Amino acid sequence: MKDGARVVVVMPAYNAARTLEATYRGLAMDVVDEVILVDDVSHDETVDIAERLGLKVVVHLQNRGYGGNQKTCYLEALRSGADVVVMVHPDNQYDSTLVPEMIQPILDGTADIVLGSRFLSGTALSGGMPWWKFVSNRFLTTVENVAFGLRLSEYHTGFRAYGRALLETLPFLLNSDNFVFDQEIMAQAVCFGFRVGEIPVPTRYFAEASSVNFERSVEYGLDVLKLVLRYALHRAHIWRSRQFTARLEDILAPRHREAILRGTRTW
C-alpha cells in the first residue's frame, strides 16, 4: 500500500443500531483515517452509538433516501480531504474487514472505482440471497454490461470504493435520491472513461440486515432499465443529458467549490 493516501469510510445509515458496532469493529483502522456516518433520520440509537464509537456524525434534517444520503457522504468525504472513499453499509451485510482489498486497485492506479461482487465470490445463493433477487440481478447486470460495454459480474452491490478524481468529476448531485443512484454513478463513470474493478466478497443476508422488499425491487429494476435507455440515447446523440456531460464543479455553489474540490492528491 502506498503511503500518504487518506482513506475515508462513509456509512449511509438508517436504523442501524443493532449492527453498526459490529460493522465498525471490522474496519482496519490502521488503513482507515476517518469514518463518517450520515444518519437519515433514524428512529433508533444509531446516532448515539456512532458518537460513542467516535465516528464523525452528520444527521439529516429530514429523510433524503439512500441516494440522497450518499450525496452527503461523498461531499463530506471530499471536504475532509479523502483520496479514497469506501462506502460501507452499517447493517453489516458486507464484510467490512475487506476494505484494504477494496482500496488496493485504486492505490495501485489500476481502477478508479472498485465494486465488491457477491457473484465473483460464488456465494450469492449460499449466502441467503432470495432467488428472485438473484434472477433480477443477473438480468439487470447483463443489460448493463451490454449497454456500458463492460464485463462485470455484478453492478448491484452496496460495497464500493471510489478514487477522489472520480468523485470530484462526476455530477453525482444530479442523480436520484433513491436506490438507482448506485447505477447512475456507474453510468456516469463509464461515460467519463473511468476504470472499474471488482473484488469477490461474501454474501450475507440475515434478519438484521436491511433489504429491499419485492415491490421496491420491481420499482428499482424499472428505474435501472430507464437509466440504461437514457444512457443509450445520450451515447447515440439522440437525447443528450446533462447528467452525463456536466462536472461536479458545474453543480456546486461557487462558495463551496474551494472546500470540496481540492484536486487529486498524489502518493
Please state the domain extents for the chain: 7-260
- Please give the pLDDT value at position 213: 76
Residues of the chain under the 50 pLDDT cut: 1, 264-267
Q: Are 101 and 110 in contact (CB under 8 A)?
A: no
| Nine-digit cell string for 245 | 456531460
Nearest to 35 by CA among 67, 76, 65: 76
Percentage of residues in the chain having pLDDT higher than 90: 86
Nearest to 141 by CA among 156, 126, 122: 156
| Nine-digit cell string for 146 | 451490454
Does the pTM surpass 0.85? The reply is yes
- Please give the pLDDT value at position 128: 86
Sequence length of the chain is 267
- Please give the pLDDT value at position 211: 61
Helix (H), strand (E), coil (C) string for the chain: CCCCCCEEEEEEECCCCCCHHHHHHCCCCCCCCEEEEEECCCCCCHHHHHHHCCCEEEECCCCCHHHHHHHHHHHHHHHCCCCEEEECCCCCCCCHHHHHHHHHHHHCCCCCEEEEECCCCCCCCCCCCCHHHHHHHHHHHHHHHHHHCCCCCCCCCCCEEEEHHHHHHCCHHHCCCCCCHHHHHHHHHHHCCCCEEEEECCCCCCCCCCCCCHHHHHHHHHHHHHHHHHHHHHHCCCCCCHHHCCCHHHHCCHHHHHHHCCCCCCC
56 forms beta bridges with 36
Q: Which residue type does 172 have?
A: F
Computed over every residue of the chain, the mean pLDDT equals 94
Cα angle 241-88-109, degrees, rounded to a multiple of 5: 70
What is the tens place of the pLDDT at every residue in 29-56?
Answer: 999 999 999 999 999 999 999 999 999 9
Q: Which fold has domain 7-260?
A: Spore Coat Polysaccharide Biosynthesis Protein SpsA; Chain A (3.90.550)
